[in-house]
């Protein structure tokens, strides 16, 4: 009995006990670990949800009260980020080793441009703009002294609302943007070259800076070179894709200057999302392999870069095929004959304003359902857009939907709209911006676009902007008067001379040589024309006919109605063609067969007819000059206009926070909030 009590467990028994214990521990540990993971995942989701709501509330408030929101649709408004490059080895992507590009290890990363991942907000002006000391430091009324940390005037919003002196920028960037710091995401190791190292994810920043700063020595505001490159005119360049990258693909001036600005941005920017375990970009995944999708990286042959997209976007609201609404044609004090039939809008407007640069303005001279060619206004980059920093210019295109399929790239360019607008500021001729490539079959339609106000403007200055002012001595006007009196038809049909008039026929105005373009002529530059005068736009300058010290000196004449007879220093004008009379009742031959009637009588029923005082006892001053300037338009009342545009008046914000719980094997938790925000105080 004693020997049996002293006997120990056998090896088999011990192994059985250990196995049973391991099974029990496994049964207990696995749910426990899963519970911990679920707890961490739930905590990460709650953290992401709370922060997403707070960030969206802040963005909504600042956008809703902004004085202006800058256009972020241009390539130059994108955000440049750096990602590790890869090569293909053994049929799949692999990281680049130091031997692949030994001469430049930094070249193992490439640039990706995230579009709509940045937005610039101009807050409303606040406080007293003059409340600063000699050094330019703003006075802070809340603490009762000058505050060197203030970025602008402090106080209540000024009324009426005007843009302030600061710019608020939300953007995506690396949490640690210092030189030689690269993207590292060990929580989701699918990008080669970004798997190991201290975590460095992309986060959402907010920064508030002054584009213009006061220079006490110059006594005026100058571009803030601490944050922005300065163009040759001294203006700050707001859009710089690589502004938050220490070694961008392209930069404006010197690398040292750029890195100094990048360091300043890093100092003033605050992270509005969590600064750890939250990534604001997501990598495109191949569903069949669960690996990152790589694309060729042309700057370095044979290399590939992962495809990513931003998780926060600020995008103007898209509107397609919105019909343009024409302005009221008949205005108080401006009479028009059959305004509804002959008058055409001077401009068209859309419901929302602040168009981005990817807008299309279609102008249909014919029924758009018939598939006829039409005119198209679009934005294009100069020289094909080889430089990402180039701004877009407007151009007018004759587009044939039968022969063409791409409105953004095809069609025959007719007119350089932006070139004209730049030339008009300097008084250069209109014609220099026409592109001669064969006249289209359509009658020429000419218009320009004011994207900020959401307008398509049909009127152009006809004579002043041409650099050619048709001017003639009053003898030419008197010749129109005496020409009828001396003509064979006038002598035989109107011996009393009661039908004689002093007038200009603007349809016949010539001058300027190759720079001349008369919009009232039947053709111009080889294009069929159907121009009309914008009512009330004309400026008529002639000699003062009143006796006195100013007799014969230039003075602006006043217009009288079409039914009145002009007196001294007066004129009347035909904005459009009017119905011709029965020539037999007037006792005159038909102008189609009589050149005298066609030259001296018929013009009074045509557009461009300008009549002056025709009293033979009150001749115009013989030493004076009469000149006429006006604005013209080439549209008709029945033309159809539609616009595709993104409106900065309403911004769609989509914010996704991708939060990693912090435990191995636990998937990231994503929370998405969306909101369409109206910019109520958009500066027009």
Q: Is 564 among the domain residues?
A: yes
pLDDT digits (tens, 9 = 90+) for 335-377: 555 444 457 888 999 988 888 888 899 998 766 666 788 899 9
| Dist. CA 487–CA 598, nearest whole Å | 12
Q: Is 202 among the domain residues?
A: yes
Res 366: pLDDT:
65
Res 609: pLDDT:
92
| Dist. CA 139–CA 146, nearest whole Å | 4
Res 101: pLDDT:
42
| Six-digit token string for 324 | 């343009």
DSSP E strands, 488-526: 503-505, 523-524
Residues 368 and 513 in one domain: no
Residues 186 and 173 in one domain: yes
Residue 397 CA neighbour count, 13 Å, CB half: 22
Q: Is 156 among the domain residues?
A: no
Residues 105 and 238 in one domain: yes
Domain of 523, in residue numbers: 471-633
> How many helices and strands, by DSSP H and E, does the chain display?
9, 44
| Dist. CA 368–CA 387, nearest whole Å | 36
| Dist. CA 669–CA 101, nearest whole Å | 37
Residues 310 and 322 in one domain: no
Q: Which residues is 79 bridged to in the sheet?
A: 114
Residues 625 and 655 in one domain: no
With H, G, I as helix, E, B as strand and everything else as coil, classify residue 180: coil
Residues 42 and 175 in one domain: yes
Identify whether the C-beta of residue 636 lies closer than 8 Å to the C-beta of residue 577: no
Pairing of strands 393-399, 527-528: unpaired
Torsion sign across C-alpha atoms 645, 650, 652, 655: positive
| Six-digit token string for 542 | 């002639």
Identify whether the C-beta of residue 99 lies closer than 8 Å to the C-beta of residue 121: no
The residue whose two tokens read 């404006």 is 252
| Dist. CA 521–CA 92, nearest whole Å | 68
Pairing of strands 558-559, 554-556: unpaired
Q: From the CB of residue 402, how many other CB atoms can be counted at a distance below 10 Å?
A: 8
Q: How far is CA 634 from CA 329, 527, 531, 537, 538, in A?
A: 15, 12, 4, 15, 16
Residues 439 and 563 in one domain: no
Residues 291 and 393 in one domain: no
Q: Which residues is 319 bridged to in the sheet?
A: 645
pLDDT digits (tens, 9 = 90+) for 271-324: 999 888 899 999 998 887 778 888 888 888 888 899 999 999 999 888 888 998
| Dist. CA 325–CA 42, nearest whole Å | 52
| Dist. CA 518–CA 504, nearest whole Å | 14
| Six-digit token string for 124 | 């409303």
| Dist. CA 319–CA 642, nearest whole Å | 10
Q: Is 21 among the domain residues?
A: no
Ordered alpha helix ranges (H), 410-511: 417-425, 474-486, 488-493
Residues 573 and 598 in one domain: yes
Q: Is 611 among the domain residues?
A: yes
With H, G, I as helix, E, B as strand and everything else as coil, classify residue 368: helix
Residues 510 and 587 in one domain: yes
Res 470: pLDDT:
47
The residue whose two tokens read 């009658």 is 443
Residues 544 and 440 in one domain: no
Domain count, the chain: 3
Q: How far is CA 215 from CA 136, 220, 234, 523, in A?
A: 8, 6, 13, 54
Q: Is 339 among the domain residues?
A: yes
Nearest one of 176, 206, 198 to 273, comparing CA atoms: 206
Res 331: pLDDT:
54
Q: Is 133 among the domain residues?
A: no
Identify whether the C-beta of residue 374 lies closer than 8 Å to the C-beta of residue 396: no
| Percentages of the chain per state (helix, strand, coil), in multiples of 5 | 20, 30, 50
Q: Which residues contact 316 (CB under 8 A, 6 or more apart)?
A: 71, 72, 73, 354, 356, 646, 647, 648, 650, 651, 652
Q: Left (φ > 0), alpha (ψ -120 to 50) or beta: where does 552 sit?
A: left
Ranges of residues in the chain with a pLDDT under 50 are 1, 98-106, 332, 338-341, 384-388, 464-470, 513-514, 684
Q: How far is CA 259 from CA 254, 262, 413, in A?
A: 9, 5, 41
Res 211: pLDDT:
92
Q: Hey, what's the torsion of the CAs at 438, 439, 445, 448, to 10 degrees?
A: 20
Identify whether the C-beta of residue 224 lies closer than 8 Å to the C-beta of residue 165: no
Q: Which residues is 571 bridged to in the sheet?
A: 559, 612
Torsion sign across C-alpha atoms 29, 33, 38, 39: positive
Identify whether the C-beta of residue 372 lies closer than 8 Å to the C-beta of residue 661: no
DSSP string, 547-572: SSTTTTSEEE-EE--TTSPP-TTEEE
Residues 538 and 422 in one domain: no
Q: How many residues does the chain have?
A: 684
Q: State the Rg of the chain over Cα.
A: 36
In 201-240, which positions are buried (b, 16+ CB within 10 angstroms) versus exposed (e)? Answer: bbbbbbbbbbbbbbeeeeeeeebbbebbbbeeeeebbbbb
| Dist. CA 471–CA 463, nearest whole Å | 10
Phi, psi (deg, nearest 5) at residue 475: -60, -35
Q: How far is CA 234 from CA 44, 228, 393, in A?
A: 48, 11, 21
Q: Is 138 among the domain residues?
A: no
């Amino acid at each position: 009995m004693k020997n049996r009590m002293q006997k120990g467990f056998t090896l088999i028994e011990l192994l059985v006990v250990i196995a049973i214990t391991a099974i029990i521990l496994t049964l207990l540990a696995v749910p426990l670990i899963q519970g911990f993971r679920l707890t961490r995942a739930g905590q990460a989701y709650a953290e992401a949800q709370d922060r997403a709501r707070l960030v969206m509330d802040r963005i909504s408030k600042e956008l809703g009260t902004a004085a202006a929101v800058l256009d972020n649709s241009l390539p130059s408004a994108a955000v440049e980020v750096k990602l590790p490059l890869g090569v293909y080895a053994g049929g799949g992507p692999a990281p680049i080793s130091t031997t692949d590009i030994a001469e430049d290890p930094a070249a193992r990363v490439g640039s990706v441009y995230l579009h709509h991942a940045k937005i610039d907000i101009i807050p409303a002006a606040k406080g007293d703009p003059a409340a600063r000391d000699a050094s330019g430091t703003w006075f802070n009324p809340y603490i009762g002294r000058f505050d060197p940390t203030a970025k602008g005037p402090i106080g209540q919003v000024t009324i009426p609302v005007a843009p302030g002196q600061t710019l608020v920028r939300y953007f995506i960037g690396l949490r640690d943007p210092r030189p030689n710091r690269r993207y590292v995401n060990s929580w989701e190791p699918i990008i080669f070259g970004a798997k190991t190292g201290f975590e460095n994810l992309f986060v959402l920043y907010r920064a508030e800076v002054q584009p213009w700063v006061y220079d006490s020595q110059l006594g005026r505001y100058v571009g803030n070179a601490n944050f922005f490159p300065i163009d040759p005119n001294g203006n700050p360049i707001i859009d710089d894709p690589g502004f938050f990258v220490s070694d961008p693909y392209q930069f404006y001036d010197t690398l040292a200057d750029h890195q100094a600005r990048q360091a300043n941005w890093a100092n003033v920017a605050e992270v509005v999302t969590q600064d750890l375990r939250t990534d604001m970009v997501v990598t495109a995944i191949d569903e069949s392999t669960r690996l990152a999708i790589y694309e060729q990286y042309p700057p370095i042959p044979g290399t590939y870069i992962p495809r990513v997209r931003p998780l926060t976007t600020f995008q103007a609201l898209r509107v397609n095929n919105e019909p343009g609404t024409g302005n009221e044609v008949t205005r108080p004090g401006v009479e028009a004959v059959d305004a509804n039939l002959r008058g055409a809008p001077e401009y068209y407007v859309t419901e929302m304003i602040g168009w981005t640069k990817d807008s299309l303005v279609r102008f249909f001279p014919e029924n758009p359902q018939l598939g006829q060619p039409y005119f198209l206004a679009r934005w294009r980059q100069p020289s094909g857009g080889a430089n990402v920093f180039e701004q877009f210019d407007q151009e007018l295109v004759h587009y044939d939907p039968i022969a063409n399929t791409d409105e953004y790239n095809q069609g025959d360019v007719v007119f350089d709209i932006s070139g004209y607008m730049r030339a008009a500021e300097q008084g250069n001729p209109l014609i220099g911006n026409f592109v001669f490539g064969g006249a289209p079959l359509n009658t020429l339609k000419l218009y320009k676009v004011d994207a900020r106000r959401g307008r398509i403007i049909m009127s152009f200055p006809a004579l002043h902007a041409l650099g050619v002012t048709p001017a003639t001595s009053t003898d030419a006007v008197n010749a129109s008067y005496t020409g009828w009196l001396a003509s064979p038809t006038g002598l035989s049909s109107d011996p009393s001379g009661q039908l004689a008039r002093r007038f200009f026929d603007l349809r016949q105005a010539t001058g300027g040589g190759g720079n001349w373009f008369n919009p009232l002529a039947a053709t111009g530059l080889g294009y069929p024309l159907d121009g009309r005068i914008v009512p009330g736009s004309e400026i008529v300058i002639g000699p003062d006919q009143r006796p006195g010290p100013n007799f014969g000196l230039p003075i602006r004449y006043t217009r009288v109605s079409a039914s009145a007879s002009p007196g001294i220093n007066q004129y009347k004008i035909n904005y459009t063609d009017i119905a011709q009379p029965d020539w037999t009742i007037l006792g005159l031959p038909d102008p189609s067969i009589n050149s005298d009637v066609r030259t001296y009588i018929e013009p009074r029923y045509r557009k461009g007819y300008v009549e002056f005082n025709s009293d033979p006892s009150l001749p115009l001053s013989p030493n004076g000059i009469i000149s006429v300037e006006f604005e013209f338009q080439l549209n008709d009342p029945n033309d159809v206009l539609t616009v595709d545009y993104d409106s900065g008046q309403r911004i769609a914000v989509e914010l996704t926070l991708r939060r990693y719980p912090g435990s191995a094997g636990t998937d990231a938790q994503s929370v998405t909030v969306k909101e369409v925000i109206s910019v109520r105080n958009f500066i027009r």
